[in-house]
Amino acid sequence: MTGPHRQRIRQGCFAMIAGVLALAATGAIAPATAQAAPDCTQSISGAHSGVLNVAANQKLCLKNAVQDGAVNVAPGGALSVVGSTITGAVTLKSGYSGLDFCASKTVRGALSATGGNGAVLVGSGDLSCPTNNIDGAVTLDANKSSVTLAQNYIAGAVTASANLNGTTISGNRIAGALTCTTNVPAPTNGGVRNSVGGDRSGQTCAVSTF
């Protein structure tokens, strides 16, 4: 290889390195990973007073919050509650898009989730969604995705009806009745019996070992 040829190769390498450095300096090179945008459109921590209404295409996230007032979720809305206390009822109306309720409690408040399109998780029996304390009835009806109600303390009755994509009711302490109807498939308890203070009726829920 001739001297002039080597010189041209060196010059080309230097030009390429300089170009890469210039791009980095201007931010033209994308980072290797990008942070996903959070899915909460509204987040509340700490004390909050007043009724909360969640509109369609909105997701309310309560984390370590003390909410004094009911929480209502409209069709198309979603709710995530973690480590929080809600004084009042929690109501998700037909067409809501999802519910997570973990390590939280209601005070003088029932929980009703009806006709949802997304998954319903109210306790899981493990650290992913720890035990809840519901000071009222729990109603889970006509949900199109999976429904899980596990390892909770529930002061009222539990009703699960017409849920269509698997219903797990496991290891709960229920002060009132447990009623299950027209769920497809029939509910399961994951091998962990529920303690029920009232009557048991409907589908697998009627069995004393459920």
Q: What are phi and psi of 26, to 5 degrees?
A: -90, 0
DSSP structure class, residue 203: G
Q: What is the DSSP annotation of 161-177? A: ES--S-EEEES-EESS-
Q: Which of 155, 196, 204 is nearest to 178 (CA)?
A: 196
* 75-99: pLDDT as tens digits: 999 999 999 999 999 999 999 999 9
Q: Give the Cβ contact number of residue 146 at 10 Å.
A: 15
Tokens, residue 9: 């190769």
pLDDT value, residue 125: 83
Residue 154 contacts residue 165 (beta carbons within 8 Å):
no
* 175-188: pLDDT as tens digits: 999 999 999 999 99
Measured distance CA(94)–CA(128) in Å, rounded:
26
For 17, how many CA atoms within 13 A lie in the half-sphere containing its CB?
6
Residue ranges in the chain modelled with pLDDT below 70: 1-38
Q: Which of 207, 166, 203 is nearest to 184 (CA)?
A: 166
Measured distance CA(62)–CA(72) in Å, rounded:
13
